[in-house]
Structure 1
C-alpha cells in the first residue's frame, strides 16, 4: 500500500485507458456468460477494484476473462438460468481462491507444464469462437460447445446476412484499427462504437435492449441441495482457472515491469474481488492479460491504476447504461471472436513442429479435452500425463547413470584396489535422486551387468541426495539377489538420510556393510577376497592331502 501514490500521473492514464478497453469486453463477456451485460460490468468493477487493492501484482488489471466466461456459460445452461445460484458459485470461487492464497497453492499452479497451459488456453479460445459463430449468422445457438456445433448446419441454412456483415465488419475494425489512433481510442472500443452506429442507420438486427442503471443490488448466497454438487464443482473450476489465468498474467506483468509478484497475495486479492462480485451480481473474473499490457504501456505501475480502471467503469454504469442498450449482439460477437483468436496460442502452434513431438501431442490432447469434454478434466489429464512423461524421462537418465564402472578408475588408489581385485568386484554408481520411476528397472539392470565371476558388489551412493521408498525396495531386491548368488554386498558414500531409508525398508540390511567412501569399500572388498582366497587355498590343500 505504501507505493499507492508514487506514480499517480501514470496510474491515472493507465487506469483510464484500461477502463475504456475493458468496457466492450465486459459487456461482451457478460452476454456470453448468459447472465447479461450488466453482470459483466459489475464483475469488472468488483474484481478490478478489490484485486488491485488487495492483490500481489500492482500493475495487473483484473476483470471478466474468456476462461471464466466459458465455465459460467456452461453453468448457466446446467442451472437453467438460475442467476442466484450462479452468483453463489462466483462467491464460493472467491472463497476458494482466498483459501488457495493462505495455503500457498499459487506456488504449485506455476508448475503446470507449458503444453498443458497452451492446450487449454487454445481450447478456451476455440470454445469462445465456436459459441459466437451462430450469433454471427443471426441465430442464438443452444448452450454448450457441442450444442453450438450441432446447431451450425441449421444456422448455415438460414444466414442473416445483416448480422454476418456487421459482426465480420466489427472484427475487421478491431484487428485493423490503426495503432496511431489506438493511442486515443482502443481498437475494441472503436469497433463497438462504429458497429453500433452503422447498425442504427443501415441494419435492423437484435440488440441488447433495456439495461438497468444505477448501483447494483445485493445478492446473498442461496442453498439448493439438488444443485449443490454442481455449484461446488463450478466454483472450484472457476477458482482454479481464475488462479491460473491471474498468475500467468502476473508473470507477463513481471516481465514488463521488471518486478516480482506475490502469488499468494494475488490469489487472496482475486478471491476477495470474486466474492464481492458475486455479492453485487457480477460474474467471476481474473487477471486480464490484454488489459494489463494496455495499463503498463499507458504508464500504470501501481495498485491505483487498477482501482481507477474500476471507477471508470462504475461511472459508465451510473450514467451511460441507456446508450449500451442499442449495442447489437452481432457487434459483441465480433469482439468476442477477436478475444477468442487472441487467446489461441499461435506462437507455440507455429513452432510446435520444431519441438518434441510428445509435447505437441499433449497440447493437442488437452485442446481436444477442453473443447469436447471439460476444462478440469483437460488440465487434470494433461498434468498427470506430463508428470508421468517427466518421471519416465528422469528414470531413464537415472538408469543410464546406474552404470558399471569400467576397469579403470580416475582415482589412482581406487584404480589400484580395483586391479588388485582381478575382476571379482562389480561397482555400480547411482547418479541423482533415486525415485520410483527408476525402481522398476534398477534390480534388472544390476542383475544383467554384474561381471561374470564377481564375488563382491559395491553400490556407490556418493552422488545420490535423496531416495524414495520405491527405490529402497529395489535396492532390497539387489540385496536379495546378491545373497542368493553368494556375493558380498557393500554400500559406499550414502548419506545419513539415504542410510535411514535403506535401514527401515531393507529387511536384509543388517547383512550389508556400509562405508563412507568408495575407496574404503574397495579396501574392504580386497581384504574380503584375500581372506576368501586364503580359506579356499587351505580347503584345496586339505582336500589334496586327503586324496594323497
Structure 2
C-alpha cells in the first residue's frame, strides 16, 4: 500500500488537529453508549487507524459517531450491560461491513433516497438530545428514548441548577468559541477543559470517576443462545448504519478535495476498523463528518492523517485516566447536545416546505419511526415507500405516453394511414421498459382508449428494451381481450429479449401478426382493412375512409 509522503506536513497537522477534536467527542460518546469513556477512546483509536489504513477515502477521519452510539446504547439496555455480548455485536458488524465491500454493495448502499437519510439522521440527532436532557438537569438518564422522556417530568421537578448551568455554559462555549482560536484549540476541547476546571475548583457535581489507563484487554466474541438474535440484529443495524454514515462522509470529503473515493474499499476499511474495535473493547464507529472536515481544512490529504489522528488518541489514552476522572457529566452532556444538534438536517428542514410534499411526508415518517420505534424499521419502511412511490411515478409516465395519434408520428405515410383509419386502427406505442408498476393499468388503458369501432390493435414495442413478468402477463390480457372482441392484434418492433419473454410465456408469440416496425404493421393493417372492405361491401371501414 503506497503512501504519499509529499503531503506529510499537512497530514501531520491535520491528524493532530483531528485527534484533539476527537478526544472530547470520543469520551462523551463512550459514556453515552453505556460502556464508559475508555470504550469511546479505544473505538476511536481502532476504527480511526484501520479505516484509514485500509479504507478508500484518503483524508477521512473515522471514529465513534452519534448514530452508532444510539444503537449501542439501545443494545446496552437490552443486554443489561453485558459488555462481552456488545463487543461481539461490534465485531460482527465489522465483518458484515467487510462482506458488503467484498460483494460490491457500496454502490447500492448509496442509493437510499435523501428524504430517508434526512429523516433517520435527524431522528438520531433528536434521540441524542433527548437522552442528554436528564444528565443536564442533574439526573441519570433511563435507557431508551421513551424512558428518558418519561423520566423528564421528574427531573424537571428536581433541577440541579449548578449542573444545568454548567451544561448550558459548555454548550454556549462550544457555539461561541472564536474561530481564530479554534485553529489552535478546538471548541469542544476548550469547553471540556474550562468546564472541568470550573467544576473542580468551584462546584461539586457528578463526574466520570475512576478511569483505567493503559493498553486495552482482548475481547474475543462470545455467543449466548438467549441473546444471539439481539446481538445479530444489532450487528446488522450497526453495519448498515455505519456504511451509510461513512459513505455520506466520503461524499463530503470528495466535494472538498475534488477527488473520488472507492466505496467498496471504504466499507472494507470501516469493517476492519470495527472488528478491531470490538476485539479491544471499543465502541463501533464510522466516517465522522466534522472531524474529516477539520482534518482537510488543517492540511490533511491522505490516509496518513487518519492514522496519525488515531496515534494521537493512543498517546493520550495511555495517561488520560487521572485527568479525565474529574470531567463533569454535565459538560459531556453539553458537548453531546451539540453533537445532536449538528446531526439534525437543518438545511433540509428549512426548505422542506418548498419541495415535493411526498418527500416531506416520507422524511417525517422516517423521523418518527427512528425516534419511537427503531432505526432498521425506519430505514426499511422509508426505502420501501420511496421505491413504491418511484414505481408509481414511472408507471404513470409510461401509461400517459401510451397512445400515439397521427399528429405525433414522424412518418407522413404512417400519419396518413392512421388518419385515414382513425376509428378502425388503434396504435399503442410503449415507451421505455415496461415494469410491474405499469402492468396493473396496461390492459385497462388499452380497452379504455380503443375506439368502439376499431378492428385492429397495434402494440409497438420499438422503445421497450425488456419486459418483466407482470408486463408480459398484461400483454397476454390485451391479447385475450382482442380475441374475445373479434379484433386483430399486431405486435411490432420487438427486440429479441421482448420476443423471447412473450414467446416463452405463451408457448409462441401471441396475436395475429408480428412485424419489424410500426410502419410495416400499419401498412399491413391498412391493406387488410381495404381487402375486407372490398369483400364485405365497406363494413370494415369507417365512414369517410
Q: TM-score, normalised by structure 2?
A: 0.97
1:401-435, Cα deviation, whole Å (9 max, x unpaired): 11242467331121233244363111111111110
Q: Distance in 1 between matches of 2:267 and 2:63?
A: 14
2:383 matched residue in structure 1: 383
Per-residue deviation, residues 57-110 of structure 1 (Å, max 9, x unmatched)? 111000000000000000101111110111111101101111111111111110
Q: Retained in 2: the 8 A contact 1:167–1:330?
A: yes
| Corresponding residue number in structure 1 for 2:119 | 119
Q: Distance in 1 between matches of 2:325 and 2:187?
A: 21
The DSSP-based 3-state class of the residue aligned with 2:458 is strand
Partner of 1:414: 414
Contact 1:26-1:40 at 8 Å conserved across structures: yes
For the 8 Å contact 1:473–1:506, the answer to whether it is kept is no
Counterpart Cα distance in 2 of 1:516 and 1:205 = 84
After the TM superposition, list the runs of 4 or more consecutive aligned residues in structure 1 that deviate by more than 6 angstroms: none
Cα separation, 2, equivalents of 1:492 and 1:165: 77
8 Å CA contact 1:476, 1:507 repeated in 2: no
Secondary structure class of the residue paired with 2:6: coil
The alignment status of 1:204 with 2:219, answered yes or no, reads: no
Which 10-residue stretch deviates more, 418-427 or 158-167? 418-427
CA distance in 2, matches of 1:512, 1:30: 72
SS at match of 2:215: coil
2:477 counterpart residue number:
477
**Aligned counterparts of 2:488 and 2:272: Cα–Cα separation in 1:** 64
Aligned residues between the structures: 540
Matched, 1:324 2:312: no
Task: Map 1:133-148 to 2 at 5 A.
Answer: 133-148=133-148
- In the TM superposition, residue 526 of structure 1 has moved relative to its aligned partner by 1.3
In structure 2, runs of 5+ residues without a counterpart are 541-545
2:420 corresponds to 1:424: no
Aligned to 1:39: 39
CA distance in 2, matches of 1:357, 1:6: 50
The CA RMSD over aligned residues, in Å, is: 1.5
Q: Give the TM-score normalised by structure 1.
A: 0.96
- TM-superposed deviation, 1:513: 1.2
Structure-2 change in CA distance of 1:182 and 1:538 (3 Å): closer
SS of the equivalent of 1:319 reads: coil
**Equivalent in the alignment of 2:269:** 269
- 1:18-33 maps to which residues of 2 (within 5 A)? 18-33=18-33
Indicate if the aligned counterparts of 1:458 and 1:492 stay in contact, CA closer than 8 A: yes
- Structure 1: gaps spanning 5 or more residues: 541-548
Asked if 2 retains the 8 angstrom alpha-carbon contact of 1:475 and 1:506, the reply is no
Please give the per-residue CA displacement for 1:450-505, whole angstroms capped at 9, x wherever unaligned. Answer: 12311111111122222211111111111111111111111111211111112122
Partner of 2:55: 55
Distance 1:536 1:279, change over 3 A: same
Q: Given that residues 171 and 338 in structure 2 are in contact (C-alpha distance below 8 angstroms), is that contact kept between their aligned partners in structure 1?
A: yes
TM-aligned CA distance change 1:404 to 1:416, over 3 Å: closer
Query: CA–CA distance in 2 between the matches of 1:409 and 1:263?
Result: 45
Confirm or deny that 1:8 pairs with 2:8.
yes
1:345-494 equivalence runs, <5 A: 345-406=345-406, 409-421=409-421, 423-494=423-494
Q: In 1, are the aligned partners of 2:14 and 2:299 still within 8 Å (CA)?
A: yes
